[in-house]
Amino acid sequence: MPELPEVETVVRDLRRKIMGRKILDVQTDWPRHFSRSPGGFLRVKRGIRGRKIESVSRKGKRIIFHLSGGKLMIVHLKMTGNFLLGEAGENNKFVHIWFFLDNGILFFSDIRKFGRILYGTSHELERLDDVKNVGPDPLELGYKEFRERFAKRRGIIKSALLDQSIVSGVGNIYADEILHKSKIHPRKLVENLTDADFKKLWNNSRIILEKSIATGGTSMRDFRNTEGKLGGYLSFCRVYGRKGEACLYRCGSKIERLKIGARSAHFCPKCQSR
């Protein structure tokens, strides 16, 4: 599921529905979700009881619960993780974690079980590699800072866009969409991009991510909000998942797909120059 707009959709849901609630207990049938957390699940279970959820924020694709007593819970949804509330979580066979709150249950479902949760003080967690290497996202950057973050990077632009330490929040779907709207071939090299190209990348990142947030994210397959409802951005996607279809957006030629690393890249061979 989750790139920046999907995670932001979940964060806004959580903020509205469980901010200020107290966590009474937590249970899991898959403790490996907590395997990267200092002390593992047992320490989470011991430490989290009675803490209030003071606020919920996001860093890149990570959800951050700010708990009373200066503790944080940082959640990465990976491919198929999700939070559900109320009916959406009951009788759902993919739920592996139950947070018992003072007003109901917060369910964590995860079909592929890649999702990871960290719990501890900000001091502890910020030392962990997978937290400290996350860069700012395009929505919190001005053009100049955005441009500068690519300054030392060389190589394939799509790989650079997916590198969360340069800019966070962009994943496979939005990287393809941003490159298409910017008329840049996914294999083009960072060192060959002009300032005008970066201006387009910055601007289009913001336009696409904002628009997707406004429509509740993209539900390719599994993504749901906390009520179990689908996001609405898929119908706005111009290239992702549209291999063989016409580039109706601009030129009518057929969308192609190629492999970059182990991931698929969708693009229009006519609009997007190398």
Beta carbon of residue 109, minimum distance to DNA (angstroms, whole number): 11
Q: What's the CA gap between 135 and 86, in Å, rounded?
A: 34
Chosen residue from 135, 264, 269, 270 binding DNA by CB under 7 A: 264
**113 backbone φψ class: left, alpha, beta (φ>0; ψ -120 to 50):** left
Beta carbon of residue 102, minimum distance to DNA (angstroms, whole number): 30
What phi and psi, each to the nearest 5 degrees, are found at residue 140? Answer: -105, 10
> Contact between 222 and DNA (CB under 7 A)?
yes
Determine whether 2 is an active site residue: yes
Q: What's the CA gap between 207 and 171, in Å, rounded?
A: 15
How big is the site for DNA, counted in residues (CB under 7 A)? 42
- Catalytic residue among 61, 71, 149, 242, which? 61
The answer for residues whose C-beta is within 8 angstroms of residue 194's C-beta and 6 or more apart is none
Determine whether 3 is an active site residue: yes
Chosen residue from 51, 61, 149, 180 binding DNA by CB under 7 A: 61
Determine whether 112 is an active site residue: no
Site string for DNA, 154-193 (x = CB under 7 A): xxx--xx-x-x------xxx--------------------
Beta carbon of residue 266, minimum distance to DNA (angstroms, whole number): 9
**What is the H or E stretch that residue 84 is in?**
strand 81-85
What phi and psi, each to the nearest 5 degrees, are found at residue 122? Answer: -60, -35
CA distances from 146 to 137, 169, 211 (A): 9, 13, 19
Q: Identity (one letter) of the amino acid at 65? A: F
Segment interacting with DNA (CB under 7 A) among 16-24, 40-48, 98-106, 108-116: 108-116
Q: What's the CA gap between 35 and 39, in Å, rounded?
A: 8
> Contact between 139 and DNA (CB under 7 A)?
no
> Contact between 109 and DNA (CB under 7 A)?
no
Give 37 or 159: the residue with its C-beta nearer to DNA.
159
The distance in angstroms from the start CA to the end CA of the chain is 29
Is residue 211 within 8 Å of 178, Cβ to Cβ?
no
Chosen residue from 5, 47, 60, 216 binding DNA by CB under 7 A: 60
Give the residue numbers annotated as catalytic, written as ranges: 2-3, 61, 263
Interface with DNA (CB under 7 A): 1-3, 6, 32, 60-61, 76, 78-80, 93, 111-114, 129-130, 133, 152-156, 159-160, 162, 164, 171-173, 218-223, 260-264
